[in-house]
Amino acid sequence: MTAKDQDGKVVHTERRKYENWNLWFQGGKEVALRLWDITATTNINIGLEPEQPSEETHVVLVDPGTKFVTIEVKFLFEPEPDKWETIKTVTKTVNFHSSDAYYKKK
């Protein structure tokens, strides 16, 4: 995720790496934690599901003269180490208006 102001200055950037781990455990069998059987039949998926929306709030301070910030978020897939493919890109622009205009005499 990268946020840039109207002049192209980066005001915020963040990158997260999600890993998809599918763990398989044998169902209906009591096994001590140290003896987990990985060759089992019950799938526990702790990865991201396709097309499931995610929402976050980031508080970022911007310079007083900032008119807008364009935020670009890319969802990348790493099929092999250090090789990235873009799966989806979303861009949104947030406009800023000074509250001073509300207090000026007309």
Q: Over the stretch 10-43, which tens digit does the pLDDT of each residue have?
A: 999 998 877 665 555 555 556 555 555 555 555 5
Average pLDDT over residues 65-81: 89
First to last CA, the chain: 41
pLDDT of residue 50: 65
In the structure, what pLDDT confidence band is assigned to residue 77 with cuts at 50, 70 and 90? confident
- Compute the mean pLDDT over every residue in the chain, rounded to the nearest whole number: 77
Is 83's pLDDT higher than 70?
Answer: yes
Structure tokens given for 76: 């990348």
The region of weakest confidence among 48-52, 56-60, 73-77 is 48-52
Is 91's pLDDT higher than 70?
Answer: yes
Strand partners, 76: 86
The domain segmentation of the chain, as residue ranges, is: 2-102
* Edge-to-edge strand ranges of the sheet holding 83-95: 10-13, 2-5, 68-80, 83-95
Q: How far apart are CA 23 and CA 76, in angstroms?
A: 23
